[in-house]
Chain A
Amino acid sequence: MIYLDNAATSPVDPEVIEVVQESMRKDFANSGTVYALGLDAKQRIEDAENRIRESLSIPPDYKIIFTSGGSESNNLFIKGYGFPDRKMAFLGLEHPSVVQTLESFREFGNEPVSLLALQEDGRLDLSAVPRLKKEKVRLLCLSHVNNELGSVNDPVQILPALAEQSPQTRLFLDGVQAVGKLKLSPEMWQGLAGYSVSGHKINGPKGIGLLVVEGKLDLKPQIHGGQQQHRLRSGTLPVPLIVGLALAIQRAVEKTDETIKNNRKLFHHLVKGLQSLAGKIPGLDLKFNSSLSEDLTHQSPSIVNFRFAPVEGEVMLHHLEEKGIYVGLGSACSAHSKEPSKILTGIGLTPEEARCSLRISFGPQNTLADVEAFIEAFGVAYRQLYSTFNRKTAHK
């Protein structure tokens, strides 16, 4: 099996499996109880939190809230901060858990401001910042790394621009696709309001993620109950998942330089390979939806999105699946919808172009041989499918 859909989810690191298993056996006590067993569980969580804080260079004045994953973190921050009438803006290219959460505010008459007209290569163009001031936007929500394109919104560039030109606008980043794929600059914590992380995108367990939130922000809780986690997110804490998440984050961050190096190699190899395929296969009109920029503040080398009309991406996906090669169509959460990806149409693709696209996303297990096998299988499948999809020949 060749797995090239690591932005959808990733295989769990065996070391993580081990610590989760061990913790499941040992740390069953409720960390909210006052006897020694419970205090031990609480200690495990605090240790994990400290490791995460250290790995991600999170300053002490930021709270760490454990959630069920990226979607919950995004919901908790946006609903908790925005309710009911804080003006919020987005690019329109974010994950559905950001976009739809913002759109849910319409029921309070709070229409989010879309900056889609000001995107470039899937990134926020900084010329949008004055508009934020003009529209009195209090929160700007962006993906740190776009889940379908790999485009980067660099907080180190955006935060100073906001501070200078629209100081009342705070920045929230969905960092689900960024951790372990890019080096997070400690500088970003100077001014960032909130940041989401997910365990299962970085070889950690599913069902666990976190929200990092600036300590002085007063978020409205979304899950009420036993008042755990600064009263922000009630519910007994899953110690084994938290321990697993901490290890996954630690490993991902430790290996970030190596990962970037490997992903860059794979990215180049894939782009070159596809380009040379386009030269060899008549009719293969291959275009990249992702930017080919090597600047890590513009594009993450972990994701390559490209199109090859007239062959449909989903059909190509199933043909590759038959060869044991797994690739992505886009956000797995919206892959079931028949509508073409809003991210791809958002950057200007026609619905047909969007439907004829695939996303390749790399993980630490991927090698050049995987990329080569993919290119070969893609070429074979394309040749096989072209005549069926090419209306000119099929309608004769």
Chain B
Amino acid sequence: MNERRTILVRYDEIGLKGKNRDQFINRLVKNIQMQMKDLEGLQFKVPHGRIFIHCPEELSVECTSRLQKIPGVASASVGVTREPKFDALAAVGVEWIEPLLQPGKTLKFCVRTNRADKTYPHKSPDIDREVGSRILRQLHSQGLEVSIKDADYILEIEIGQDETVVFNNRASGLRGLPVGSSGDILGLISGGIDSPVALYRMMKRGCRAHGIFFDNRPFMGRGGYDKVVKLSKLLNGYQKKSKLYVVPFEDIQVAIRDHCRPAHRVVLYRRMMYRIAQSVARQKGYLALATGESVGQVASQTLENLNAVSQVVNLSVFRPLIGMNKQEIINEAKELGTYDISIEPHPDCCSVFMPPRPATRAKIADLEVDETKYPWEALMRDAMTKMETVNVDTLTV
């Protein structure tokens, strides 16, 4: 049977957004349409509180799996649209449940209705009972029983003003807010495990997360860049339209290595990364920076050193992983699919730039003295002139 399906898309936080609600919903619908633009035969409807997608039956699995990767979607259910009449609704139940019944075995079921259209002349429990009893009447002899508390099978009915949908499944989504609803940010991305997770978390809060990568190809080769490109491509799948800024960093690293105190190197590198990231963000109109830092994870992420790097910028710096344990970050990276790319064997810093003993509590005054020893403004200008801007949508990896 080549029937059309109705996918019921739910969102949660957007429902709380008061007067801006329509903007958020429009954004979510646009994002969904963008992610599905290559699928033919889809129709979208946006009644109060829900999004309906009508699609050919054979696309329903693909649509659902894409919906599960779109920030802002709370869950999705594939079902069919019917007249809000008990017999028609019960017929769907009979059609779906009958093949599941096995001789000599019982199946416990229940009906649950959500009446979004309060003008509908029956209340939800009455609909449950009316539809349930009709199904039971036809299938009781084959082993079907009712159990409200302990059902093996739940038939759900959503009665809306325009449309009534019957379904038996719920696929959970990422929740959060639709990308773009909060604005654009710039995330510092390396080939490591943490930064992609940080950017992903910002996307789920409605940000379009662009990436900035500090490349040191003359010392490290192209391996790190290739990894970041792969990660950016994967992350872009959740948001689209993101950019990757690639900044040549070797001259800055060499200057710091050659002129500053070894123990301060890492913090000095990061101060330069922050400065450059802020400058790019300001140029592009991005509203904040994001990093994958987490307190105490490595020497550069002690409270003192985090403070020392934050001092060089006045744009907000978001650190969504700040309170997470390493294993929690790894688990999330695995779920996200970035972990396997992040652990590909390309080191993210050449050993020659690493100090034997990095300072864990660098003093800002000392760092400022170090920064008088090399022409950081000129080097920063030069790096930004040589910066490459990559449109991640059109990247081929």
Contact = CB atoms under 8 A, between A and B. Distances in A.
Interface of A: 312, 314-315, 317-319, 321-322, 336-338, 387-389, 393-395
A387 B221 contact: no
Interface of chain B, main secondary structure: helix
A315 B352 contact: yes
Contacts of A338: 345, 347
B60 to A, nearest CB: 41
Given A318-B221, A322-B217, A393-B258, 9 more contacts: A312-B352, A314-B350, A315-B219, A318-B217, A318-B219, A322-B218, A336-B345, A388-B254, A395-B262
B257 interface: yes
Given A318-B219, A318-B220, A336-B345, A312 B350 contact: yes
A18 B221 CA distance: 33
A319 B218 CA distance: 5
A312 B258 contact: no
Contact of A394 (B258, B345, B347): B258
B119 interface: no
A136 to B, nearest CB: 40
Contacts of A319: 218-219
Contacts of B350: 312, 314-315
6 contacts: A312-B350, A318-B217, A318-B218, A318-B220, A322-B218, A389-B352
B352 A337 contact: no
B345 A388 contact: no
A387 B258 contact: yes
A321 B262 contact: no
Interface string B241-272: 00000000000001001100010000000000
A360 B113 CA distance: 75
A63 to B, nearest CB: 38
A395 B265 CA distance: 11
B351 interface: yes
A312 B351 contact: yes
Contacts of A394: 257-258, 262
Nearest to B255: A388
A312 B349 CA distance: 13
Given A312-B352, A338-B347, A388-B352, A317 B221 contact: yes
B258 A388 contact: yes
B220 to A, nearest CB: 6
Nearest to B254: A388
Contacts of A337: 345
Contacts of A388: 254, 257-258, 352
Contacts of B351: 312
A20 to B, nearest CB: 27
Nearest to A355: B351
- Among B219, B221, B262: residue with most chain A CB under 10 A: B219
A395 to B, nearest CB: 6
Nearest to B260: A394
Nearest to B355: A395
A321 B221 contact: yes
Contacts of B262: 394-395
Nearest to B346: A336
A389 B262 CA distance: 12
A133 to B, nearest CB: 42
A50 B351 CA distance: 52
A312 B216 CA distance: 15
Q: Which of A314, A319, A321, A338 has the most CB of B within 10 A?
A: A314
Contacts of B217: 318, 322
Contacts of B221: 314, 317-318, 321
